[in-house]
Amino acid sequence: MQPEDIVRSGPNQYICKAGITKELPSLLERFNRPVIITGVQSFAAFTKHVQLPADWTVIQHKGYSSLEGIRRAAERAGTADIIIGIGGGTVLDTAKAAADLLHIEVMTIPTIPGTCAASTPLSVIYDDEGNFSGVQYHKRSSYLTLVDPLLLLSSPLAYVKSGIGDTLAKWYEAEAIIRNTADSLSIMVQTGLRQSVFIRDILLKDGLKAVESIEKGETSPALTNVLEAVIALAGTVGGYAGRYGRMAGAHAVHNGLTFIQETHHVLHGQKVAYGILVQLALEGRMDEIAELLPFYESLGFPRRLCDLGITENVEQAKQTIAAHAARPEESLSLMGSFREADVIAAIESLE
């Protein structure tokens, strides 16, 4: 059985509550040797809110969630009996993979609402240069995932928008995969698809309000809705629907973009948001693109290659994206058979 065929419902325990991170030491009383894996900026943001015990080991991870970076983190964690990942998607993916190597529990605390990494039992793997390598599935879900709206109020606005873009793809990718399969759908697959609709509607209704809350530095029901949609609900789409609810065209385009140096400064969710448009163009669904454009404009999502920093060697960039996205083993193949020329044509239609 493949990992994609196993239902993974989410964290073992989950709490979303303003100020919950201040209770972290009491939530870990059963453990003797907690080790934190975090980033530089994320740890600085976290420690403004929480006073940690002085004897806890802190590992600051730099770079990508690469196999070598994960190995180093696991070695430094040594005899830990739980790893606490505190940070964004790269840090959390590294923490989860390191805990998996060590066969111990992992706790996740997102400091930015950029991805669903805090609630999914998998890690997205890149090489040390930032090129997409693959997905690693883990044996455990997180022991506990904490979402603290007060902590997340300090998130850089760009990461909030990136999280919305990445999560918006859940519906478009799951719907395309399911629509293009002749398989009968289990109840769990149908549940994943319905979750994706719910998530899409939350983002389109509350996304801009959530961004305004971050700008004002004030919590709001809309912000909490978006935080939970991005961090917690998004992972349930693939968790329940398995191979029918995972990445498709939008992420295949994202993966191709990672091989273009000019896009390395562009956040994951921004690339995925662009990938949604390419996926829709591939299927000739131009009316849906037109419906999305006002939302994209309000959040500053990329609509053309130049919005991604690609202004030179444009033809080569199209070829690079298309060559990767159209590979038989890429996720685009889950929604049909597309050639490199089809992907290039879709990109050109957006230009």
CB 65 within 8 A of CB 123: yes
Helix (H, G, I), strand (E, B) or coil at 164: helix
CB 174 within 8 A of CB 195: no
Range(s) within the chain of domains with CATH label 1.20.1090.10: 157-350
Kindly indicate whether the domain formed by 3-152 is annotated with CATH number 3.90.550.10: no
pLDDT tens track for 28-70: 999 999 999 999 999 999 999 999 999 999 999 998 999 999 9
- 121 φ/ψ angles, rounded to the nearest 5 degrees: -85, 55
Structure tokens at 106: 């992992």
d(CA 257, CA 259): 5
Helix (H, G, I), strand (E, B) or coil at 190: helix
Kindly indicate whether the domain formed by 157-350 is annotated with CATH number 3.40.50.720: no
Mean pLDDT of 61-84: 95
pTM over 0.85: yes
d(CA 116, CA 276): 17
Q: What pLDDT is recorded for position 9?
A: 82
Whether residue 295 has pLDDT greater than 90 = yes
Tell me what percent of the residues of the chain surpass a pLDDT of 70.
Answer: 100
Locate the DSSP E strands across the chain.
Answer: 14-16, 34-38, 57-60, 82-87, 105-110, 122-126, 132-137, 144-147
Mean pLDDT of 117-128: 93
CB 309 within 8 A of CB 262: yes
Mean pLDDT of 220-241: 94
Average pLDDT, the chain: 94
Range(s) within the chain of domains with CATH label 3.40.50.1970: 3-152
Helix (H, G, I), strand (E, B) or coil at 59: strand
Tell me what percent of the residues of the chain surpass a pLDDT of 90.
Answer: 85
Mean pLDDT of 241-245: 85
Mean pLDDT of 188-193: 93
Collect all residues with Cβ–Cβ distance below 8 Å to 260 and sequence separation of at least 6: 310, 317, 320, 321
Whether residue 4 has pLDDT greater than 80 = no
Pairing mode of beta strands 14-16, 144-147:
parallel
pLDDT tens track for 322-348: 999 999 989 899 898 999 999 999 999
